[in-house]
Amino acid sequence: MKRNVAILLILLLSFSACGRKKHAGIEPPVGPPPTIEPQPPAPQPAPPTQPQPPKRTLPPPAPKKKAPSPGDTSAIRLVESGVKQMNAGNLDQAEQIFEQAVRVSPTNGRPYYYLGVLAAKQKNYDRASGFFSQAEVHFRDDAFWMSRVLMQEGLVLKAQNQNDAAIAKLRDAVSTDPTNTYAKSVLDELTKK
């Protein structure tokens, strides 16, 4: 019982201490609220008297090459297999492999390119031109392959005795990729005539 009385006294003392905010330093402010005087606006800088040089801007970043998708990787393997078949003289088998590569990755330009080369070997120039046109769409951001496509188009035109058009295509091929030495040699051969 003494224990309960002691606890009751402690509680009473703590409640009475809470009512005395003055001693705790938590008293509401007395008087009207302080007023804040408005500050004058900051002075504006004077316009420059001399013309400022133009700001230098950086050129836009080069387009990033996307990582090949699994379909592109598979299509490239198929194309490599098709090139081996084409070089071995198995043109029908090579054509089937290139067409399979197009089905696997229709946005990859290599199968179209090699289908065009194959059609040109078979002297089917209209078909070859169609495949090269499709390859151009997919190689527009790749100077190496675009140069090869333009060169093949020039060779097709040369085979059809359209030398002026062939020269124009070969010039485009060389200007697109100056390291395309074969296009340069064919161009030199045609312009010497």
pTM of the model: 0.64
Q: Contact 85/93 with Cβ under 8 angstroms?
A: yes
Give the pair of three-digit tokens for residue 49: 């008297």
Please give the pLDDT value at position 43. Answer: 63
Residue 111: phi and psi, rounded to 5, are: -60, -40
Please give the pLDDT value at position 113. Answer: 95
Long-range contacts at 3-9 (CB < 8 A, ≥ 24 apart): none
The segments of the chain whose pLDDT lies below 50 read: 8-9, 15, 20-24
Please give the pLDDT value at position 46. Answer: 61
Domain ranges for the chain, please list them.
Answer: 68-138, 142-193
CATH superfamily, domain 68-138, is Tetratricopeptide repeat domain (1.25.40.10)
Q: Contact 112/129 with Cβ under 8 angstroms?
A: no
User: Distance (Å, rounded) from C-alpha 157 to C-alpha 164?
Assistant: 9
